[in-house]
Structure 1
Amino acid sequence: MQVLKFGGTSVANAKNINTVVSIVQEKLKEDIRVAVILSALGGITDALLEAATLASLGDITYKEKLLAIEQRHLAVVKELIPLDKQSSVLSMVKKRCNEIEDTCNGVFLLKELSLRTKDSIVSYGELLSSQIFAAKLKSLDINNTWKDARDLIITSSDFGNATVDFTVTNKNIKDFIATVDSPVIIVPGFTGKDKSGNTTTLGRGGSDYTAAIIGAGIEASVVEIWTDVSGMMTADPRLVSNAKIIQEISYQEAMELSHFGAKVIYPPTIQPLMNKGIPVVIKNTFAPSYPGTWIHNEIKKNGNSIRGISSINNLSLISLEGSGMVGIPGFSKRLFEALSNEKINVILITQSSSEHSICVGIEEANADRAKTVIDEAFAYEIEIKKVEPLVVEKGLAIIALVGDNMKNHPGISGKMFGALGRNGVNVRAIAQGSSERNISAVIALTDVKKAINVLHEEFFETTYKQVNLFITGTGNVGSKLLAQLQQQQKHLQEHLRLQVRVAAISNSRRMLFNDEGVDLSKWKELLQDGEAMDMNEFIATIQEKNLRNSVFVDVTANEAIAKSYPEYLKKSISVVACNKIACSSSYEYYKKLKDLAREFNALFLFETNVGAGLPVIGTLNDLLRSGDKVNRIEAVLSGTLNFVFNNYTGEKSFATVVRQAQDEGYTEPDPRLDLSGTDVMRKIMILARESGEELEMEDISNESFMPESCMKGTVENFYNEMEKHEDHFLQLITKAKQEGKKLKFVAKFENGKAAVGLQHIDPQHDFYHLYGKDNAVLFYTDRYTEQPLVIKGAGAGAEVTASGVFADIIRAAG
């Protein structure tokens, strides 16, 4: 015999009930005898509670609620059962609804709703649905027996969450089954009665428990829990879009997951079936062909160390601590007694090895009551300062990894906490059972969605890792970057298992957010319709969204944005900066950003600050990490100046060549930063700092070749003045040519000192054969003494700079 339990959504209306009928008919075709356990029609239990509560408050509108409940059941009967067979069923519904109304009238008069009365009222939901279902089968000439669960299941008098007396209950079930030969037995779920004959309920979700009690009592071959999902899942699909169906799970794992918030099955359901080795299957009423999830003893390994991830929201941590607790037995006993006397359930316990404190997780709704009773229990110790008043933290949640295969698998907790740490999820408390079947962590409620997605990605995703980008700056480099991201999205997902989503784009005028990823084929139009840009609002929105694997990308030259990096790093959001301002501002700020990145497990990457797309900073860091020491750096670091001096022959004016460099996108927005040597000063300072030197801009000497008048006024004035000083520039190039040399603007760092300036380069030098906009960096180190390590290539241009930013994004994503 099989037990089939159908939840509220499965019997929410006539259409769904007909689906349930079809499932039962399929069982009968296979010559399988079934016991069918039914919940109330979807939403009816809540409606009954609401009506009872209104009545207790003296609110006459409870009658309207009851009328709506009656009308809904009558409508289901009229749609479900043929007209010539409706009369007796409609009478039954009216009779039951009159009984509900009589009880509620008494509640209204007394202005009192006891737990016993509440149980009596809500039990009618299952009584009605099950009798309607029995009548439907009878109308189809399907022989069935309806049995009131209260005649079978005997419980304690703990109304609302009664304890089953299995000795009496099992005997009742066996005696009943022995007298029935119909192929279908129908039993309302959720209800029982105490030894005095009062109606009791088995707790919310108790219809699952009824199925387990009946299944264990008749020693069923299987208990099927039919619901609106296709099984237990690796995580809550409302939080994790890529959650997967768990095909098989052990009794113990299922109990752990259901305890930690998995809603598919009511936690007590497993125990009576586990005791008898009866398997449970979670099936989808609306997709009956799906295999669902099998819960039983012997399961195959799924190739993973964990089976699922779950969570409990709205948790509070209460902490009792004080020096007077150390070495004194009985403190824990008194704490738990105080909670037990108030019927406050303990969800999680953790205690420091010093015995100086004990921390307990409880439902947030009970936190204030817990503080009152515990402070009273320890009033004397608090008064003499041996124990501190109870500390209560609210707004928390528990996330739990569950899996039998976690046993003897080192590194699971490290992987868990590493993934959370990298995403800025702070862990307030940790608990792991001696069975090693679960690891639980208490985190902020606001971090739950991110945390579960991060852990699911870490332990279950074999397809991709999701990365969320927040990009500011849509100019030359920014637009190229967005084009590259669009072009490479498919490649990244297929070959690097990265799903890179641009969750926000902004420029100086507008900002655009989309958690599912901005459509990069039309980002310009979408951004144009976005909100007005407000940097503080932009930062606040990113922090509020709290998306996993977040990376902020700055493709601007804006000082205010460069000053905002700490706001991201403190939230464990990695920063990729094309903007040189942050790293070339004061050493104190540069160091602060580096320290914040380390402290909050974020990355601060700025490869394109020097050499555009060339791997200059990365190579320098690799040298230092491998134990090498940088003794000297020589570099041509301005693609702009190299382009200018490679193209200036005297045939066109110097100003014309500079304007060409700007038009082709090789200069900073203000070309005077390039021509003055300021940009090169910034770059050599960044390299010196990355080498370990505390260098400031004023420490760098600059032998400028530009006439002073060129650097005053507007950009247009700059070009006009250069035209006036054409002879000066012509003399510079002529003198170099006469010596058989080329002009290069060179940066040097050695012995803690840095300098930049125009130099005459002979043909034997590495810099002589630098063409176009090329950069070159020479590292002289303990390992590279006479022959330097040379990095050479295009050092300017929107396309190569964007590719350098892209590379940093991939590093941050890794």
Structure 2
Amino acid sequence: MKVMKFGGSSLAEAARLGQVIKVVRESANEQRVGVVVSAVGGITNLLVQAIDDAIAGKSDDVLFKEIRQRHQALLDHPDNALSGQALQQWQQAEQSLLDELQRDLNGVRLLKTCPDEVRARILCKGEQLSSSLIAALLRQQGKHVLLQDPRELIRCNGDVLEALPDMFLLSKNGAELNRKTFDVVLMPGFFAGHDQHAVALLGRNGSDFSGALLAYALQAKSCEIWTDVDGVYTADPRLVANAKVLPNLSFEEALELCHFGAKVLHPKTIGPLAEFGIPILIRNTLKPEAAGTRIDRASVIPQAAARGLTLLDNVALITIAGPGLQGVPGVAARIFATVAREKVSIILITQASSEFSLSFAVPSKDSQRVLNALQQEFKLEQQSHLMRAFECDKDIAILTLVGDGLHHQKGLAGRFFSALAATRVNAIAIAQGSSERSLSVVISHKEQRRALRGIHQQFFESRQQVEVFLVGVGTVGKALLEQLQNQQPFLREHGIDLRLCGVANSKKMFMNSDGFAPEQAMSKLQQGQPVDLQALIANVSNDGYLNPVLVDCTSDAHVARTQLTALKAGLHVVTANKKANTLDMAFYHDLRTTADQQNRRYLYETNVGAALPVIDTLQNVVKSGDKLQRFSGILSGSLSYVFGLLDDGVKFSEAVQKAKAKGFTEPDPRDDLSGMDVARKLLILLRDSGSIAELSDINVENIFPADFDLNGNVSDFMQRLPEVDSYFAERIEKLKQHNKALRFAGVIEQGKARVGLIEVDREHPLYPIRDGENALAFYTRRYDPVPLVIRGYGAGADVTAGGVFADVLRTVSFHPARGML
């Protein structure tokens, strides 16, 4: 024999009810079956509201109409149609139960109060109605159905709304029931008999418990809990999209998961079944072919130490502190006895090793009642200043990692708390069960989703997540979008789930927490809202993102200053925008200090040399104890191109025109020829080498003759440019006679920096650099007289975008061999 319990979600629609009848009928064809049913979905909530309305003196006409309509809607489906004697039995049962309900509600309306016994009688009507309906449907299909009254089988004592069953009497009654003849023994869940009252409830959502009690009574081979999900998940799938169904759990693991918030199973369900080793199977009514989750005695420790992750909210943490706790026997006993008198269950306990403070968690709805009771109990201690004022934090949640193998795996707690730190979540309190089967942390309610997703990713997911928020969709930004689109499949194969979750330009922004295709970014942007980077950052900070990265592909000073706000809010920052690193020295330090404090990455490899590994190389040189002594470098791809053409005899004006036509220069070539862009790059190198410097400390030399007019618009400037052709031609020619070349470079010597033209011979590392190449020669204590040279193309949207992309991927770990497995 097996027992099957069907929840309200399995009975909420006609098609689902039909599936329930089919599953029960097919099982009953093979063996005797016990069935427990909840109320039809939504009926219990209607009954709760009916009690409140009756106390307020309101009419219940709508209630009865709604109850009849919901049950009739289930029968309107062709597969569920009743006729003849079965229909008559159902109609008589329905009318009788509704008459009883009417009498009870009339009494409540008259008294303007609802005693617990009456409340119990009213609230169990949903289960009585659903069981009568299902009995009629099964009988019509030829099954011998015994409709068992739980008041006769399950006898309870204690609180009438949260009764405790007499297990010895249940076993005795079950033996008698087992001797009866039936195909299906059908029992409504949620309620039972009581020693002092006509009816008692087993607690809200207690139909699971009813199923377990019937299986216990009948000594069933298994107890199946049929619901609307595929089984027990590694985490709540509504909060974690990548949660997976667990094929099996031990009783102990399931009990921990249920205690700390897993809603697929009522916590009290497990105890009676674990006593006799009766397996529990969680099945999906809509997908009966699915294997579901089997909960049984553990025979071996599973390979995966962690099995599930739960989140329990609507919790309050009460903290009691003071010298009156230290070394005083019986104080803890008084605390817990006080809570027990209020009939409140303690969820979690943690105590400082100094015994100076003790904290425990209770449901938020009970916290004020508990506080009042504690204040009364310890009134004298507080007056004597042996105890401080009690603290109660209602804005918390409890995150718990569960698994039989937790105590077998070294370093697991370290992984757990490292993952919390990586997701910027603070642990308010920590608790671990003595069996080491669970590890719990109390966290802020507003951080619960981010914490849940972060811990789940660490223990249950093979892919790391990156959420990109791109600001700036000019030439570099658009090239980056194309690269993101092309590379996403490859990254998924290598364990990285990269999502574009936001995009912004100077006018609009668009965000979607689930991500969207990079190729759709421009069209999405047109549908977006007015740009507000502060709002974008605040949204990212509060919305539970795991690894958010703000990518700045602008050259805007305002956006540059926003980078600090992003770091403070917990975002990584990747920037191609040099403005942030060349603002005042205090801001430069704030960026790095904040990144360290927030455990975030601040990455700007493309600030110098586009995608060349300049910044990382220089930082590693400095970190390893080496020291920069001097430097020279061609830091502008556009000017590398221009001066390379001069070597070939091309006129200066024609060289600039060609560079402008190819898009190597800014729209106004003076922005490049002024040397300010190179000065910013040189300042970054100077600062990253350990020097304190401002942009004003960089000597930017004018490359033009003193009498050349640089004013006017771009067109005027380009027309006057041939005036300097002879100046540069003569200078180039003289240098050729000495086997030298003219290069536009940044130079650092004796702690001073300058930008301008330098003359280099054939032995100089910058001599062969042209055609848009960058080259940087670092002379250090270790690299001298032969410098450390970094050389390659340092211009172009694709190259720069590639460098930005590489920085984005530095926020996660990448293993090329992974895709070969």
Q: Calculate the TM-score normalised by the size of structure 1.
A: 0.95
TM-superposed CA distance for 1:295, in Å, is: 0.4
Q: 2:323 & 2:705 partners in 1: Cα distance?
A: 74
What is the identity percentage for the equivalent residue pairs of Structure 1 and Structure 2? 38
Q: Quickly say closer, same or farther: Cα 1:258–1:663, change in 2 above 3 A.
A: farther
What is the alpha-carbon distance in structure 1 between the residues aligned to residue 719 and residue 377 of structure 2? 85
* Greater shift in the superposed pair: 653-662 or 101-110: 653-662
Give the whole-Å Cα distance in 2 for the aligned partners of 1:790 and 1:29.
Answer: 82
Contact 1:700 1:755 in 2 (8 A): yes
Match of 2:572 in 1: 574
Partner of 1:353: 353
Between 437-446 and 103-112, report the one with greater CA deviation: 437-446
Distance 1:170 1:475, change over 3 A: same
* CA distances 1:290-319 after superposition (whole Å, capped 9, x unpaired): 111110013555532210111111222222
Instruction: Tell me the residue number matched to 1:470.
Output: 469
Q: Kindly provide the amino acid, as one letter, of the partner of residue 293 in structure 1.
A: T
Gaps of 5+ in 2: 814-821
Alpha-carbon shift at residue 177 of structure 1 (Å): 2.1
CA RMSD of aligned residues (A): 2.2
Match of 2:312 in 1: 312
Q: Which residue of 2 aligns with 1:562?
A: 560
**In the alignment, what sits opposite 1:792?**
791
Q: 590, 593, 596: which one pairs with 1:595?
A: 593
Give, as a single letter, the amino acid of the residue that structure 2 aligns with 1:550.
P
- What's 1:489 paired with? 488
Deviations 1:500-540 (A, max 9, x none): 11101111122111222222223222212222222333323
Secondary structure of 1:159's counterpart equals coil
Equivalence for 2:274: 274
Aligned mates of 1:371, 1:718 — CA distance in 2: 78
Structure 1 residue 608 displacement after superposition: 0.2
Once the two structures are overlaid, the 10-residue window that deviates more, 263-272 or 727-736, is 727-736
Distance, in Å, in 2 between the alignment partners of 1:671 and 1:431 is 64
- Counterpart for residue 150 of structure 1: 151
What's 1:52 paired with?
Answer: 51
CA distance in structure 2 between the partners assigned to 1:778 and 1:533 by the alignment: 42
Q: Assess if the C-alpha contact under 8 Å between 1:208 and 1:269 holds in 2.
A: yes
Q: Which residue of the partner structure matches residue 105 of structure 2?
A: 104
Letter in 2 for 1:490: P
1:788 deviates by: 1.8
CA contact (8 A) 2:225 2:280 kept: yes
- Any conservation in 2 of the 1:666–1:798 contact (CA below 8 Å)? no
CA pair 405-713 structure 1, distance change in 2 beyond 3 A: farther
The residue aligned with 2:543 is 545
Aligned to 1:765: 764
Structure 1 equivalent of residue 141 of structure 2: 140
Change (3 A) 1:438 1:521: same
1:694-773 mapped onto 2 (5 Å cutoff): 694-707=692-705, 712=711, 714-716=713-715, 718-719=717-718, 722-773=721-772
Whole-angstrom distance in 2 between the partners of 1:145 and 1:529: 61
Q: Distance in 1 between matches of 2:646 and 2:391?
A: 73
**2:421 matches 1:388:** no
In 1, distance between residues paired with 2:658 and 2:111?
91
For 1:46, give the aligned amino acid: N
Moved more, 741-750 or 703-712: 703-712
Range 580-589 or range 615-624, more displaced: 615-624
Query: Which residue of structure 1 lines up, in the alignment, with residue 37 of structure 2?
Result: 38
Deviations 1:270-296 (A, max 9, x none): 011111111111111111111111100
Kindly indicate whether residue 315 of structure 2 is the aligned counterpart of residue 295 of structure 1. no
Deviation at 1:710? 5.0
Find the residue that maps to 1:589 and give its secondary structure. Answer: helix
Q: Tell me the SS of whatever aligns to 1:517.
A: strand
Measure how far apart 1:556 and its partner are.
0.4
Work out the CA distance in 2 between the residues paired with 1:75 and 1:246: 35
Please report how far the alpha carbon of residue 557 of structure 1 lies from its aligned counterpart in structure 2 after TM superposition. 0.5
Confirm or deny: 8 A CA contact 2:17 2:74 kept in the other structure: no
Shift of 1:765: 0.9
Change in 2 beyond 3 A, CA 1:328/1:699: farther
Q: Could you list the runs of 5+ residues in structure 1 that have no partner in the other structure?
A: none
- Measured against aligned partners, the alpha-carbon deviations of 1:629-673 in whole angstroms (never above 9, x if no partner) come to 433333221222212211236966534433433443333566444
After superposition, the Cα gap between the structure-2 partners of 1:182 and 1:700, relative to the gap in structure 1 and judged at 3 Å, is same
Number of residue pairs aligned between Structure 1 and Structure 2: 809
Report the equivalent of 1:479.
478
Alignment of 1:439-458 (within 5 A): 439-458=439-458
SS at match of 1:705: coil
Cα distance in structure 2, aligned partners of 1:811 and 1:453? 20
Instruction: Write the distance in 1 (CA, Å) between the matches of 2:91 and 2:74.
Output: 10
1:17 alignment partner in structure 2: 17
1:163 equivalent to 2:164? Answer yes
Equivalent residue for 2:634, pick from 604, 614, 636? 636
CA deviations on 1:697-734 (whole Å, 9 max, x unpaired) are 23333333245665556555554554544444444434
Cα distance in 2 between the residues matched to 1:300 and 1:326: 42
Give the TM-score normalised by the residue count of structure 2: 0.94
User: SS of 1:90's equivalent?
Assistant: helix
The code of the aligned residue for 2:178 comes to I
What SS is found at the alignment partner of 2:413? helix
In terms of mean alpha carbon deviation, does 237-246 or 777-786 score higher? 777-786
CA contact (8 A) 2:89 2:136 kept: no
Q: Which deviates further from its counterpart, 318-327 or 248-257?
A: 318-327
TM-aligned CA distance change 1:675 to 1:420, over 3 Å = same
8 Å Cα contact 1:48-1:66 kept in structure 2: no
Q: CA deviation at 1:236?
A: 0.9
Deviation of 1:333 (Å): 3.0
User: Is contact 2:251–2:298 with CA below 8 Å preserved after alignment?
Assistant: no
For the Cα contact (< 8 Å) 2:773–2:795, is it kept in 1? yes
In the alignment, the residues of structure 2 paired with residue 201 and residue 404 of structure 1 have an alpha-carbon distance, to the nearest angstrom, of 33
Verify the 8 A CA contact 1:73 1:93 in the aligned structure 2: no
2: CA distance between counterparts of 1:13 and 1:131?
17
After TM superposition, give the deviation of residue 799 of structure 1 in Å. Answer: 1.0
Deviation at 1:749, TM superposition (A): 2.9
Inter-CA distance 438–727: structure 2 relative to 1 (3 Å threshold): same
Give, in whole Å, the separation in 1 of the partners of 2:714 and 2:444. 52
Letter in 2 for 1:641: L
Residue of structure 1 in register with 2:818 after alignment? none
Within a 5 Å distance, the mapping from 1:60-209 to structure 2 comes to 60=59, 62-77=60-75, 80-85=80-85, 86-178=87-179, 180-209=180-209
Question: 1:269: Cα distance to partner?
Answer: 0.4
User: Counterpart of 1:533?
Assistant: 531
- Distance in 1 separating the partners of 2:373 and 2:688: 57
Distance 1:78 1:612, change over 3 A: closer
Alignment check: 8 A CA contact 2:348 2:360 kept: yes
SS in 2 for 1:155: strand
Following the alignment from structure 1 to structure 2, what is the Cα–Cα distance between the partners of residues 4 and 191? 17
Cα distance in structure 1, aligned partners of 2:347 and 2:199: 29
User: Distance between the aligned counterparts of 1:386 and 1:576, measured in 2?
Assistant: 53
Instruction: State which drifts further: 761-770 or 526-535.
Output: 526-535
Match of residue 776 from structure 1: 775
Is this contact kept in 2: 1:710–1:717, CA < 8 A?
A: no
Distance across 2 between alignment mates of 1:723 and 1:383: 92
- SS for the counterpart of 1:538 is helix
For the structure 1 residues 413 and 389, does the alpha-carbon distance in structure 2 shift closer, same or farther, using more than 3 Å as the test?
same
The 1:341/1:716 distance shift into structure 2, 3 A limit, reads: farther
Q: Which residue of 1 aligns with 2:502?
A: 504
Q: Is the 8 A contact 1:320 1:358 kept in 2?
A: yes
Instruction: Decide whether the 8 Å contact of 1:465 with 1:497 is kept in 2.
Output: yes
